[in-house]
Amino acid sequence: MPFKIAIASGKGGTGKTTVAVHLYWYLANKYSPNIKLVDCDVEEPNDIIFFPEAEINEEKAVFQDIPEIVLSQCSFCKKCAEYCEFNAIVVLPPAHFAEVNNSLCHSCGACLEACNDNAIIEKKEPVGSINYYRINRGNGIKEGILKIGSVMQTMMIRELKKSVSNKNEIIIFDAPPGTSCPVVETVADADYVILVTEPTPFGLYDLQLSVDLLNDMKKPFGVIINKAGLGDDQVYNYLRDEGITLLGEIPFSREYAVKYAKGELLDDIPDIIDEHLRIIAGELENRLIQYEGNNYFKW
């Protein structure tokens, strides 16, 4: 089974993508070429921007089963609407009206079970696509991209993860920001989670929310502080007081922000960043050995 690492953060823009693409690059070069990067930020996937040589290899549409009510068969008994926990079905018997609201439907199939008149059929609605890009290191990148206007981001993430082969030795999941269901879906089967934060009050507060979530889920995790030097030391104090592992730091520099802006993070990685990545990979290895116990994990 592959070793799965998820990169997450409560706050957006802390540097999840920066960490994900660097870690992919570093591990692919130094540890194992049998590694895949999976961009689970399906609302706004950005990993691919940092690999200008990436070639799209495969594009696969993802569909959601949306029920449709066949009015000629419908007895307007309302049982489907009663079964629907998401208030997605409206039935008005006097008006002979019955309709499913696509944007509220979770495709759970309850209405089909409810209907005794065979009046509900399912149709496939596109919710996005899964793209696979080949790059010149490692096994490449898979990204999920949500169709604009769709609210099915969690389903997209589920389908994206299902499509990733278990033959990879290491899989890196780049999570969306926040602490709600899409993040849960991304980290659900990760062996280890890296939380990326920044040393600011917003970064700290949202980090605490993410820590609560991961503790709830009983997930092992460590923290990387990005843009180190920009804010204050409250994040460091918090990590120390709570006994949370600090995996490493990426210092803030304006030149580095410019490289990020241009999508050139991986061109001529500065020595200082390379050194920080080495520390992070080493720390990660220590943690993994600790958690794996007898199954001593070696990169």
Partner 1 sequence: MKEITILSGKGGTGKTSITAALASVAENAVLCDSDVDAADLHLLLHPQKKEEHTFSGGWIVQIDQSKCTRCRACMEICRYAAIHFNQEGQLEINPYQCEGCRLCEKKCAAEAITSVRNNNNYWYVSETRFGIMVHAKMGPGEENSGKLVSKIRGRAKEIATDNNLQYIINDGPPGIGCAAISSLTGSHAVLIVTEPSKSALHDLKRLVELIAGFSLPAYAVINKYDIDLELSSEIESYLKDNTIPLLEKIPFTPDVVKAMIEGKTITEYKPDSEITKSIKKIWERIRY
Contact footprint for partner 1 (CB under 8 A):
10-14, 17, 41-44, 46, 49, 83, 85-86, 103, 106-110, 113, 146, 148-151, 153-154, 176-185, 188, 200-202, 205-206, 209, 212-213, 216-217, 230-232, 254, 257-258, 260-263
> Which residue in this structure is represented by tokens 């990020």?
260
Residue closer to partner 1 by CB (options 259, 281) is 259
The amino acid sitting at 196 is V
Q: Output the CA torsion sign for 161, 164, 169, 171.
A: negative
Q: Residue 99 or residue 113: which is nearer to partner 1 going by CB?
A: 113
**Helical spans, DSSP H, in the chain:** 16-30, 79-83, 110-114, 153-162, 181-187, 201-216, 234-242, 254-262, 271-292
Indicate the residue among 32 and 46 with the shorter CB distance to partner 1: 46
Compute the distance between CA of residue 259 and CA of residue 5 in angstroms, rounded to an integer.
25
CB of 232 to partner 1, least distance (A): 5
For the CB of residue 183, give the shortest distance to partner 1 in the complex, in Å.
8
Q: How far is the CB of 155 from partner 1 (least distance, A)?
A: 9
Smallest distance, Å, CB 147 to partner 1?
A: 10
C-beta of 10 vs 284, nearer to partner 1: 10
Q: In what order do the strands lie in the sheet with 120-134?
A: 55-69, 120-134, 141-146, 35-39, 170-174, 3-8, 192-197, 221-228, 246-251
CB of 66 or CB of 281, closer to partner 1: 66
Nearer of residues 188 and 244 to partner 1, judged by Cβ? 188
Please say which residue, 35 or 235, places its beta carbon nearer to partner 1.
235
CB of 181 to partner 1, least distance (A): 4
Q: How far apart are CA 81 and CA 232, in angstroms?
A: 53
| Cα–Cα distance measured from residue 40 to residue 146, given in angstroms and rounded to the nearest whole number | 10
DSSP code of 44? S
Shortest separation between residue 51's beta carbon and partner 1, angstroms: 12
Q: Count CB neighbours of 150 within 10 A.
A: 19
State the Cα–Cα distance between residues 116 and 77, nearest whole angstrom: 9
Of 135, 94, 100, 102, which Cα lies nearest the Cα of 115? 100
Structure-token pair, residue 148: 């604009």
Q: How many angstroms separate the CA atoms of 297 and 299, rounded?
A: 7
Q: Least distance from C-beta 213 to partner 1, angstroms?
A: 4
Cβ distance to partner 1 smaller for residue 170 or 182: 182
Burial per residue of 60-87, b for 16 or more beta-carbon CB atoms within 10 angstroms, e otherwise: eebebebbebeeeebebbebbbebbeee
Least distance between partner 1 and beta carbon 22 (Å): 14
